[in-house]
Structure 1
Amino acid sequence: MNGGDPAKWLELDRRARADWGPEQQGERRTPLSALCHRDGRVRHRALNEAAGHPELFPLVVVRCADWVGPVRDRARELLAEILDAGTAVTLAPVILRVADRYRGDHALGLLDGVLRRAPRERLAPLLLSGDRAVRRYAYRMAVEEGTLSPVELARAAAEDDDAVIQGRCAEAALTEGPGAEALEMLLGARNPQARSAGVTALRRLGEPERAVDFLADRSALVRACARYVVRQHGIDPLPWYRARCADPAVQPGAALGLAECGERADAPLLWALLEHPAPGVRA
């Protein structure tokens, strides 16, 4: 195991105590088993030895939320000693998981302090972590610290598969007014969270006419944003949808858009599309 697999460390800690019984009383303790021992005095003594065992640092993090005060205090002292820009990257997954526990926020505060003082490149591995919670944390910090450019933020919004990261990075990329490259990344993103942010920004950037191209987008969110932008520009999207739905080459998004904002009089036009040869339009 390593620091990047928090669930296994927490499960190890839980099972070590659950499996302990009188028959283990005389067994020789390892540093690992001592850190998970039922007896707080044993855990406390084990922490004094853990400083020389980097492989056990994740359990030091777990002990920072220990229910026994002296154990918890010693673990926090030790974590403050061992946590630097290097170990912070390794231990971040466990720290973030432990932060959800009662009394678990102290370790998170230490992590925050170390990473905010660290060089920008130290945050890079966390931005690429396979752990979604770690990536969310890292991007939140990067946005707060202003360490990523609008292009980097737009790329993250377009490429990351987490909706929270997509939304946070897209919003941050647009805060100061993105350049053309960042805007195009958002508009061309595969996920609707980033595309919708880019489309909405067209109004503020003085390019509302470009939103027309997204009225038939495959995403309902993007279509709604496009309608908002064109309406603010004085364009009624309803005639546009009607014209597209009367065209044999109608796009599925146009049919959906008409259904979303059309009137009762548009029902015959939509009914006719139930016979359209394209499955996407019929659906």
Structure 2
Amino acid sequence: MARSLLEGDESPVAARLVGNGPDAWIAFDEEVRRLQRDCGPWEGSGRLEARLCHPDGRVRMAALAAWRHPPLALVLIRCADWVPQVRDRARRVLGRAVAHHPVGNRDRARRVLNLPMADDPAHVLTALVPLALRLGGREHGGWGVEQLEAAVSGRYSLLAAWWRPGLASTTWSWNSLTPRQRGGMIDRLAGSADRPTRRFAARVAAACGHYDARELARRAATDRDPVTGRTWTDAALAAMAAGGPDDGAVDALLGSRFVAVRAAGVTALRRAGRAAEAVDHLTDRAGRVRACARWLLGQDGGDPYAHYRALVTDRRRVTRYAVAGFREVAGQDDGPLLHALLDHPEGPVRAAAVAGLRALGLDVEDAVLLALLDDPSPSVSREAASSLLRVAERLDSAALAERTGPEWPLHVRRAAFRLLRGRGGSAELRASVAMMTDPDPVLGLYARSTVTNWNWLSTLDEGEAHQAELGVLLARAARVLDVQRLRLL
């Protein structure tokens, strides 16, 4: 686009940048400047857009002074210019262009900024926000963000310094934004697909109290960005602290699928007079939420340990998250309760019991863990392998190598190979060579990577394997080794 502009293309730049986001304007500015600096002169160097991006600051300043309605996106970029004179003039031009944008020029604004047909300047400001946020990281780019934040919040804006009271009623001013206009602007920014823009909207909305507690909680529960969700959550809690508890807001927080939001909802139960509901969240899938529920239950005079113990001793009610919560409050004396769950019919419960015993530092017999290594549940096999890793050197490598055969389930092969790698030495090398052609691409990749980086001479020198056996393994591994290295070996 920059090259076609400088070669004399008369098509509007903004129309070709539609849908490419604010970064496209910044890239366009940099490329036009680079081409004019390195490859000039050009036929289209007299175009307004080319002059606004010229490497010479005097040309950029003259372009800002000579045109009545320059492209606002490029003017905003010049507001963060490294030349003070260009920067100051661009800010004056932007103030006049936005604060006094006449109705008759709405079509031009729509073309320049890709705006919908607007009846007020709020649409112009909304379109400028994403680009201003990108420029905010520059040395002089914070000015535009400050002005937009002031305009959206209803505070005094420096751009209003160029407002002239004698203008016709068809002229807009930044000071003329009504609460309804500002609210509509926040709504549009909060619904933007651009993540920095949504974060900006959340910060401004929280600061000026635009939404009530229930709406803040709803947005916190549904926003996929953790930073924005945290902003909405904090604002909802602050609104409930100032205006009293709101059961609808608390329920919205508790119903979120995001951990931080649910945890905030659990802590809000106390202020709402619903501390007794903490028991329902003791078995949440997130440890952070479980911790908040235990704290709340303790503040209400309850005993989290007693609730967890009642759950893990009832084989019909126990769940994997009940076992995980019990592990977080249990001691080594509670090991028998977890041992009793190793034969529970539910795989996730068995896996949580194995993880709980390991977390408490309790030893489980190797025979028991090896039997769990062949468990039909992948999570149980994975947890058993994690518990066996610390004693991998004393395990029977032949029995583990047998489990890497293609007739075994994938999760068993993965667990056995993990333990063989934990043993190291020739046992790991034999398993890696054997599994180079495993049907599972992940296992095959790990095996080939191990073989490729193996120190064969060290294995021979340390006597971990006989030379004849290493020769056989090397012949089988030849297809994954470099020719020169293979010849040397």
Return the TM-score normalized by structure 2. 0.54
1:275 Cα deviation after fit: 4.4
Work out which structure has the larger RCO, using CA pairs closer than 8 Å and 6 or more positions apart in sequence: 1
Pick which of 261-270 and 94-103 moved more: 261-270
- The one-letter amino acid of 1:111's match is L
Asked if the contact 2:73–2:128 (Cα under 8 Å) also holds between the matched residues in 1, the reply is yes
1:45 Cα deviation after fit: 2.2
The match for 1:167 among 224, 227, 230 is: 230
In 2, the alpha carbon distance for the partners of 1:3 and 1:142 equals 26
**What residue in structure 1 maps to residue 384 of structure 2?**
none
The match for 2:336 among 258, 261, 268 is: 268
Closer, same or farther: CA 251–2 of 1 in aligned 2, 3 Å: same
In 2, the alpha carbon distance for the partners of 1:3 and 1:221 equals 40
1:190 Cα deviation after fit: 1.5
In 1, the alpha carbon distance for the partners of 2:41 and 2:291 equals 66
Residues 166-224 of structure 1, C-alpha deviations (whole Å, 9 max, x = no match): 22222222323332211111111121222111100112222111011001001111111
Closer, same or farther: CA 14–259 of 1 in aligned 2, 3 Å: farther
Asked if the contact 1:4–1:90 (Cα under 8 Å) also holds between the matched residues in 2, the reply is no
Closer, same or farther: CA 274–22 of 1 in aligned 2, 3 Å: same
1:220 aligns with 2:287: yes
The match for 2:30 among 14, 26, 46 is: 14
1:12 Cα deviation after fit: 1.9
SS of the aligned residue for 1:19 comes to helix
**What residue in structure 2 maps to residue 235 of structure 1?**
302
In 2, the alpha carbon distance for the partners of 1:247 and 1:45 equals 81
Share of identical aligned residues, percent?
40
**What residue in structure 1 maps to residue 141 of structure 2?**
104
In 2, the alpha carbon distance for the partners of 1:50 and 1:162 equals 41
1:267 Cα deviation after fit: 2.9
Residues 108-132 of structure 1, C-alpha deviations (whole Å, 9 max, x = no match): 1211222123331222100101111
**What residue in structure 1 maps to residue 262 of structure 2?**
195
Residues 64-88 of structure 1, C-alpha deviations (whole Å, 9 max, x = no match): 1111111111111122223342211
In 2, the alpha carbon distance for the partners of 1:273 and 1:82 equals 72
1:278 aligns with 2:315: no
1:4 Cα deviation after fit: 7.6
The match for 1:31 among 17, 39, 48 is: 48
> Which one has a bigger Cα radius of gyration?
2
- List aligned pairs for 1:1-283, cutoff 5 A: 1-2=17-18, 5-21=21-37, 23-29=39-45, 30-48=47-65, 51-53=68-70, 56-83=71-98, 84-117=121-154, 118=177, 119=181, 120-175=183-238, 176=242, 177-248=244-315, 249-281=317-349, 282=351, 283=379
Closer, same or farther: CA 164–26 of 1 in aligned 2, 3 Å: closer
In 2, the alpha carbon distance for the partners of 1:197 and 1:269 equals 32
In 2, the alpha carbon distance for the partners of 1:225 and 1:14 equals 50
- The one-letter amino acid of 2:198's match is R
1:158 Cα deviation after fit: 0.6
For the aligned residue pairs, the C-alpha RMSD in angstroms reads: 2.1
Structure 2: gaps of 5 or more residues = 1-16, 99-120, 155-176, 352-378, 380-489
1:230 Cα deviation after fit: 0.4
- The one-letter amino acid of 2:140's match is R
Closer, same or farther: CA 191–127 of 1 in aligned 2, 3 Å: same
Closer, same or farther: CA 34–230 of 1 in aligned 2, 3 Å: same
1:15 Cα deviation after fit: 2.4
Pick which of 29-38 and 191-200 moved more: 29-38
1:51 Cα deviation after fit: 4.9
In 2, the alpha carbon distance for the partners of 1:255 and 1:57 equals 60
Runs ≥4 residues deviating over 6 A: none
